[in-house]
Each structure stands twice: as structure tokens, then as C-alpha cells.
Amino acid sequence: MANHIIENEELRVTVSDTGAELISAFDKTTGSERIWTGDPAVWNRHAPVLFPFVGKVNGGKYRIGDREYPMKTQHGFARDLEFTCTEKTRDSVTHRLASNGQTLSLYPYPFRFTVRHRIGTERQLFIEWTVENTGDAQMFYSVGGHPGFMMPEGVRKEDCCILFPGKDRLRYISTSPAGYALPEQKTLSLTGGGVRYQQDIPATWIFEDHQVNAVGIALPDGTPYVMMDCSQFPMLAVWANPQGPFICLEPWFGRTDDDGFTGTIDQKKAIETLESGETKRIAYSIRFC
């Protein structure tokens, strides 16, 4: 396992070979860390990449036709596997994971999955994914991001606002204690395009149907702290562990199973497909304000 540093005059970004995970975005201007540190006593991740599933499959197993496969881990398996670093420059790093015997026993689709982190201008970090179906059959998959943003020292997340620019209300669903999607749709009312962090966020807010193109976090005085462009994604989730000084903003293609779901993979909510030889490119960006 190795870590790779990319940087410019304002940001120093570290990406791990394990899971191609962003593990640090150090703000050189303020001398502060902007990504959750991964304290194992609270949450041992930083910004995991979710593939080939987002969330949980019901009962830790799923079906393709009449065959059943195990998927005991939440959010698939890519976050725990070693990627190969295929390219490195001063301001970008690219990782790739290809299907192998281990993955095919859990997920019977041949694939290549490429993750690229690139620092741009105006304190932006671009995260770009390429999913390739290298097999002969149609492939079903989900993919998502899960970055946790560290609050500045001395700032409580309970005093911060989650920003949804241009919105005054949003529809969302939440999850059961076991992590499955509940059917009831609720309405989140916003003031000035934002809502103060609330303790029910640990149950996860999931905004579907391309409602959210941009999301961010504002400090207690209203100053934007981080902004995310997630306009390519049909879903966005917001989650935070109540014990840690961080909030996760998660762009998703696909989501956790409905509570009690017993269908096959092709019936799974918002599942994505790729035909044999087809490629899907997806990207989102983070601006550190």
C-alpha cells in the first residue's frame, strides 16, 4: 500500500492505493485539514469510493436471475481493495481496479474501474470515475462518493448549515436503523437555501430524482466552507456521525436496498447498466472555500 501526494500552491491532496481513497486535503492557506481524519473510534474512513454497490443489499446477499451471491459489506468491495496507480503528475493521480478471481466470486461481472483525482484552479478538486464493462453480458452496478468534510477547529457541526443553492424545499427519504431505505417521502424546508445540521442526519437523508445539482457546508457566520458540484448524479445523500466533527456529502448513482427488498439485481432501485464493451464516465468536484 502506498499514498500519493498531489499539490499546487493552495492544496496538498493525498490519495491511498487502498480503495483509491482521498485521505487528506490539506489547506496550505489556513494550515488546516479539510477531510475527516478517519479516527477508528468514530468512523475509520475518509472519503471511500462506493462500488459496485451503494449502501447495503438486503440480508447481505443479492440475486442475479436464480443465483444468489454474498455481499456482506456495505457499499460494495472497492473501498477495501488495492488499486494500481497507473499515472501520477504533480496535480493528478489515477488508480485502476480490474476484476479478478476474488471480485468475480462476489460480483460475477468483468470490469475495469478507474478513479482519477485532479487539482484544478480556484481550490477545486475533481474526482473522475470510469466504469468499463469488459465482459460479454450486460452489467449491473452502482457507484458513489462518500467524502467526509472536517469542521474547522473549535467549530461545532451543529452550528453549521448544509447549503442547497437555489432551493427552498427538497423531498427526501431516510433509512432504517439497519441501513435500508424507508418508503415514506418527507419534505425538508430550507431558509435561504440552507438548513442547520440536525441530529436526525445520522439516519441519512437521501435526495432522489436529480433534485440537487450543488451542495455545500457553511460555517456558523454563513461563510461557505466547502461546495460540491454533483450535477451529473441522480442522487445525493447527507450523513454524519454524531460523535465526530465532520459531515459527509455523498453523490450517488444507485442506493441502498429498500427495506424488505427481495427482488433480483435488475429490480434494484436506481441500478445502473452497461452493455458489453460500454464505458461510463462520471465526475464531481469539490471547491474548498
Tens-digit pLDDT profile for residues 73-83: 999 999 999 99
- Position of cell 475509520? 44
pLDDT of residue 289: 95
What strands lie across the sheet with 124-133, from one edge to the other?
Answer: 84-88, 92-98, 111-119, 124-133, 279-288, 224-229, 214-218, 161-163, 194-196
Q: Give me the number of domains the chain comprises.
A: 1
pLDDT tens for the 289 residues of the chain, in order: 799 999 999 999 999 999 999 999 999 999 999 999 999 999 999 999 999 999 999 999 999 999 999 999 999 999 999 999 999 999 999 999 999 999 999 999 999 999 999 999 889 999 999 999 999 999 999 999 999 999 999 999 999 999 999 999 999 999 999 999 999 999 999 999 999 998 888 889 999 999 999 999 999 999 999 999 999 999 999 999 989 999 999 999 999 999 999 999 999 999 999 999 999 999 999 999 9
Taking only the tens place, the pLDDT of each residue in 213-247 is 999 999 999 999 999 999 999 999 999 998 999 99
Cβ atoms 247, 108 nearer than 8 A: no
pLDDT of residue 29: 92
* Cα-based torsion angle of the residue sequence 98, 103, 105, 110 in order, rounded to the nearest 10 degrees: -30
pLDDT of residue 99: 98
- CA 235 to centroid of chain Cα atoms: 10
pLDDT of residue 38: 96
Domain ranges, residue 266: 3-288
pLDDT of residue 278: 98
pLDDT of residue 202: 81
pLDDT of residue 274: 98
Amino acid code (one letter) for 107: Y
pLDDT of residue 21: 98
Q: What is the DSSP string of 80-108?
A: GSBPEEEEE-SSEEEEEEE--HHHHHHS-
pLDDT of residue 199: 81
* CATH code of the domain containing 184: 2.70.98.10
Q: Say what the pTM is.
A: 0.96
- CA 119 to centroid of chain Cα atoms: 18
